[in-house]
Structure formats: structure tokens, C-alpha cells
Amino acid sequence: MKAVGLNRYLPITDLESLRDLELLRPEPEERDLLVRVEAISVNPVDTKIRRSKGTDHHEDLPQVLGWDAAGVVEAVGSKATLFQSGNEVYYAGSITRPGANSEYHLVDERIVAIKPRCLDMAHASALPLTAITAYEAVFNRMGISIGGDSEGKTILIIGGAGGVGSVAIQIAKIANLRVIATASRPETQAWCRTMGADEVIDHTKSLPDQLQGLNYATVDYILNNASTEQHWAAMCEVIKPQGFICCIVDTIEAVDLNALKRKSVIFAWEFMFTRSMYQTDDMIEQHKLLTRVAHWVDAGMIQSTLTETLSPINAANLRIAHARVESGRMIGKLVLTGWHS
């Protein structure tokens, strides 16, 4: 089968950073699904793993990246009960297994769902990883009520125009929150408003001052999708006493958790691979949440965040996609469809 992968961890400008490959088609075991991949999207995690080891490090076996896919179930493992051949599915997969940048891909059925029926494969593949991250951050990590009981409360979403921020704005509106998103360019600010943000402020300027200008002394919740240490002091200042902060980006420098003590603020990390990485008892919750997201999409409550499509799926186009993501100027998601002949 065709695939794209790497043997060395190189800058994306190097033609060897991602290569076209021919690999053996895998066979499903136990709760696996074998999916014929029709569309994939690229996330920051792809670029981080591609750069995760020194340029001199060499892998004997090619490493296949890619953790967002939509496709058709070709076969199921001996213990799989949730799907059958022919089902159209979408999912993000597991970081501990080969990625979905391949014609055929194995994934545990407990982290897969039937794709939204109203979306084609390209638009569906743009959603899983960011939807899981946003959903878990809002409902699991910060404990916001999915039934709308938090109506009137405020959430600050730092980095609102990226993949996670774009979905988080929409999910927060479903939860009846008042959403303040951050974006620094006219086009990203407009995108945040299109996603449903009530207010948009500039994260390159003082967040406390801008919030004060909107008559918000504090906010109840903060979801930070950007540099944790860069925004730490501002988050500590504007979070409401007994509020919640959730971050998805590693800290490069240490941050002072003591700054949250007087306010009794709850801080949480969100990492959407935790359940699959550790085979947690509640791993099937990702199947359930992706199913709920699909229902929301089909009901017109959430829209796909696809903004650009490249075709076919090959190393050259994946290098373009990685470079776009690494630029830090992405709006929404970039998707690749169809395999080269």
C-alpha cells in the first residue's frame, strides 16, 4: 500500500523529511478496524513528532505520521462489535501506533465514530483531533455542563482561529457560554466571529486591558491553545476566583502555579491521546463524543473547519502542509485527499 513517512527527523525543507513509501497492508486484530483512508488533515502534533529527534537519528523502519482521518471500514478484528465493513468513519487515532498517512490504517474501534453524514470525507477529516481536544477540554477538564447549565458564564479562548480554537468556540456556544476569542489579524478575527465568538480581542496586546474595555474584570473559564508561559501572567490575572484554566501546549519555561492559589483556581492539561495511550477504562468515551459531535454537525450546530484542500496525498503535498502548520498562521484546518497513482 502507499504511505508517506520518515526515517530521519529533518527540517521540512529537506526532501527526505517526508518520503513516499510502499508498505505492507496491515491486518486487523481484536478490536481493530482496517480503514481505507480517503482524507487526512495535518495538526501541530505531526510537525512536532517529525522534529522530535535529532537530524542524525535514523529509524530502521519508516515512521508514518498523521492523526486525523476519514475513510471506509474495510475489515474488522475478531472482537470488534461497533462497526462493519462499508461504514464511513472519522477519527484521530493513537499516537502510540502508526499514523493515518497511509492507504490503509489500523485503529481501535473505541476511538472511532461514524462520520457526519452531511460532510464529505475531506470536511470530516478536518474535525476529529480538534473536536476531541476541544470537547475534552470544555466538558471533561473544566467540567462545563453539556446541557447548557453554564449559561451566562464567560470563557476566554486564546488562539481562537486555529484548529482547536475554531471548534472550541462552537462547542462553547452549544454550552451557552459567552465566548471571548483571541486573534491578532483581521482575517483571523473575522474567522473567530464566523465560528460564533461574541467578542474578539488581540492576544499580542494586553488581555486584561482589553477585557476591562469590554467590561469583563474576570472570566469564568480559560482555554489556552497557544504558548502557556507567554500568557500565564495574564491568565492568572483575569481568571475568576474558583475558575478553571485548561492548556493544551507544553510549557518551555517554568510557570508559577502558586499564582493560582489565592483564587483557588483549578488548572488542567488536555492531551487527547491520553485515553488511547494508556488504554484507560473510559477509552470508549472518544467514540461516544465523536458520535455526539457528528450529530451536532448534521444538526447544523457545528461546521467543519476545513479552509484548504490539497490533492493527492503524497510526500510533496504533505511537506507543503507541514510548512503551513509550522508557519503559525493557519486558519482552521488543511486537508489532503486522494492517493497518487
What dotted CATH number matches 2-127+274-337?
3.90.180.10
Cα–Cα separations (whole angstroms), residue 249 to 165, 210, 229, 268: 13, 23, 9, 11
Percent of the chain with pLDDT over 90: 95
The tens digit of pLDDT for each residue in 86-103 reads: 999 999 999 999 999 999
Is 109 in contact with 159 (CB distance < 8 Å)?
A: no
pLDDT band at 341 (very low <50, low <70, confident <90, very high): low
The secondary structure of the chain, three-state, reads CEEEEEEECCCCCCCCCCEEEECCCCCCCCCEEEEEEEEEECCHHHHHHHCCCCCCCEEEEEEECCCCEEEEEEEECCCCCCCCCCCEEEECCCCCCCCCCECEEEEEHHHEEECCCCCCHHHHHCCHHHHHHHHHHHHHHCCCCCCCCCCCCEEEEECCCCHHHHHHHHHHHHCCCEEEEECCCHHHHHHHHHHCCCEEECCCCCHHHHHHHCCCCCEEEEEECCCHHHHHHHHHHHEEEEEEEEECCCCCCCCCHHHHCCCCCEEEECCCCHHHHCCCCCCCHHHHHHHHHHHHHHCCCCCCCEEEEECCECHHHHHHHHHHHHCCCCCCEEEEECECC
Nearest-angstrom CA–CA distance, 166 and 163: 5
Cα–Cα separations (whole angstroms), residue 169 to 142, 178, 226, 269, 331: 15, 10, 15, 18, 14
pTM score, two decimals? 0.96
The tens digit of pLDDT for each residue in 140-149 reads: 999 999 987 8
pLDDT of residue 194: 97
> Which residues, 6+ apart, have CB-to-CB distance to 329 below 8 Å?
none
pLDDT of residue 47: 95
Domain ranges of the chain: 2-127+274-337, 133-269
Q: In this model, does residue 186 exceed pLDDT 90? A: yes
Q: In this model, does residue 168 exceed pLDDT 70? A: yes
User: Domain 133-269, what fold?
Assistant: Rossmann fold (3.40.50)
Q: In this model, does residue 70 exceed pLDDT 60? A: yes
Nearest-angstrom CA–CA distance, 12 and 128: 24
Nearest-angstrom CA–CA distance, 82 and 88: 12
pLDDT of residue 152: 85
Q: What is the mean pLDDT of the chain?
A: 96
pLDDT of residue 150: 82
Q: Which is nearest to 173 in space by CA: 202, 134, 212?
A: 134
pLDDT band at 335 (very low <50, low <70, confident <90, very high): very high
The tens digit of pLDDT for each residue in 252-293 reads: 999 999 999 999 999 999 999 999 999 999 999 999 999 999
